[in-house]
Amino acid sequence: MILVTGCNSLLGRYLVEALLKKGETVRGLDMWKDRQLPQEVEFYEGTVTDAELLDEVCEGVRVVFHLMDVEDASYYGRRFMKKINVKGTEILLNACGEAGVEKVIFQSSARVYGSPSMLPVRETDKLKPVTAYGKDKKKAEAICMGHMEEEGMNVTIFRPTIITGPGVDEPMILVILYMAMGMGVSNRMYIAGDGDTKYQLVHPDDVVDALLKMLNNPETRGKIYNLGSDNVPTQLEQVIKVKEQSKLECTIKHITPLFTRVLSFLLKPLNIHYLRKDHVHFILNNFMLDCDRAKIELEWYPQKNNVDIMTETIKWYENEKL
CATH number for the domain spanning 73: value is 3.40.50.720
Q: Residue 221 and residue 132: Cα distance in Å, rounded? A: 27
Question: In this predicted model, what pLDDT tens digit does every residue of 53-100 receive, in sequence order?
Answer: 999 999 999 999 999 999 888 778 899 999 999 999 999 999 999 999
Q: What is the pLDDT of residue 54?
A: 97
Mean pLDDT of 208-220: 96
Domain housing 61: 2-164+201-229+290-297
Give the pLDDT band (50/70/90) at residue 183. very low
Q: Judge if 221 and 86 occupy the same domain.
A: yes
Look up the pTM and report it: 0.90
How buried is residue 244: exposed, middle or buried, by Cβ count under 10 Å (0-12/13-18/19+)?
A: exposed
Cβ–Cβ under 8 Å, residues 250 and 188: yes
Q: Judge if 28 and 140 occupy the same domain.
A: yes
Query: How many structural domains does the chain have?
Result: 2
Q: Residue 168 and residue 184: Cα distance in Å, rounded? A: 22
Contacts of 124 (CB under 8 A, 6+ apart): none
Give the pLDDT band (50/70/90) at residue 238. confident
Give the pLDDT band (50/70/90) at residue 257. low
Q: Judge if 258 and 210 occupy the same domain.
A: no
Q: Judge if 134 and 276 occupy the same domain.
A: no
- For 210, the enclosing helix (H) or strand (E) is helix 204-215
Q: Name the average pLDDT for the chain.
A: 87
Give the pLDDT band (50/70/90) at residue 270. very low
Give the pLDDT band (50/70/90) at residue 155. very high
**155-160 and 188-192 as β-strands: parallel, antiparallel, unpaired?**
unpaired
The total of other beta-carbon atoms located within 10 Å of residue 118's CB is: 7
Q: Is the predicted pLDDT of residue 266 greater than 50, yes or no?
A: no
Q: Is the predicted pLDDT of residue 202 greater than 60, yes or no?
A: yes
Mean pLDDT of 251-279: 58
Q: Judge if 10 and 150 occupy the same domain.
A: yes
Higher-confidence residue of 185 and 2: namely: 2
